[in-house]
Amino acid sequence: MRILHTSDWHLGRSFHREDLLAAQAAFADHLVETVRAERVGCVLISGDVYDRALPAVDAVRLFDDTLGRLKDLTRVVLIAGNHDSARRLGFGSALMDASGVHVRTDFTRVGEPVVVGDAAVYGIPYLEPELVRHEWELDERSHAATLAEAMRRVRADAARRGPGLRSVVLAHAFVTGGEASESERDISVGGSSHVPAPVFDGVDYAALGHLHGAWCVTDRVRYSGSPLAYSFSEDRHVKGFWLLDLRADGVAAEFAEAPVPRRISRIRGRVDDLLTGEAFKKYEDRWLQVTLTDPRRPAAAMERLRRRFPHALVLGYEPEGGGAEDARTWSERVAERSDPDIAGDFVAEVTDGPATAAERALLDEAFESFRRKEALA
């Protein structure tokens, strides 16, 4: 059986105010066509289907249409990510099971697989430690502890089913060995969000979501990454999904590239060099983050740059030799930082000193409380 592993679609998300819904629809078309051409037996979507808990109507419509086309070709197993509302995404899941679309958002059912061909597919939705630890009577409040308990339940069920059935797990977490970008939402608890890769020992394949770059933690533990770039820190990513075949001697994996609406790049230099240099010609049709290095800030810089680079989106200023003030707006400076870090900066600003350990702990607790309420929305 051929498996397709994808994740982190973030339907409804924009890129520096550029609407990406058409590009996300193009990715969905490409995925459906790949499923048809490759005769894929099961599609795994490892969380963050939507970009927020209450997605826009157009994003819901696109996902509904995509699932409708996929169900006529294959089986689908998907889980909730930290951006999704588990309750909303899981609505009607019992009814959808009959159509071959299996939505897994309830952490209490992680040990109940979807059997597809010769594989038992276990969906572990994003686990917010504070919500899970009381139900599972865990001593430790951490992502590592919650996933370890989830995998204990998975392995116990797989053992009862015997060696003839392969085991596949979907999970949404930050596994040690993966590489983060600037577009993932912070999920740290007590300063840590990492889960050790050996947590997934004992299964044939772990299909991970959360990190936006395709990444092989091990041969059997992989991130597919997001299908589109959602920050300029992803300028070196190759976007796509994994096509997998489970074999007796391991996993045969092939990464299939997906179409991108427009390439992204980061360039820097003096404004006159950027406007006239032949080396910058290849960037004229890309979405750009531009950093100017002129000794003095050029007048009307973005207006001038867009004559050559019409898709320039972000402008920064770092003069040669340093010493100038940060020219970015407040929203630009905080756009890709974690909420606790931003709040910590505020504490430092108003108290003339960095936040104490107790203050950081209180901030972490406040943001974790907010995430719990969002997860229950």
Binned at pLDDT 50, 70 and 90, residue 188 comes out as: low
Residue-wise pLDDT for 52-95, tens only, equals 999 999 999 999 999 999 999 999 999 999 999 999 999 999 99
Q: How many residues does the chain have?
A: 377
Task: For the chain, give every domain's residue range.
Answer: 2-257, 264-334, 339-375
Helix ranges, the chain (H) = 21-38, 57-71, 86-89, 93-97, 129-132, 143-161, 271-276, 301-308, 330-334, 339-351, 357-375
Non-local (6+) Cβ contacts of 273 within 8 A are 280
Q: Taking all residues of the chain, what is their mean pLDDT, rounded to a whole number?
A: 90
How crowded is residue 57: how many other Cβ atoms within 10 Å of its Cβ?
Answer: 8
- CA-to-CA distance for 195 and 27, rounded, in angstroms? 30
Binned at pLDDT 50, 70 and 90, residue 323 comes out as: low
pTM for the full model?
0.84
- Is 322 in contact with 316 (CB distance < 8 Å)? no
The topology under which CATH files domain 2-257 is Purple Acid Phosphatase; chain A, domain 2 (3.60.21)
Binned at pLDDT 50, 70 and 90, residue 375 comes out as: low
- CA-to-CA distance for 116 and 165, rounded, in angstroms? 10
pLDDT score of 324 more than 60: no
- CA-to-CA distance for 38 and 252, rounded, in angstroms? 14
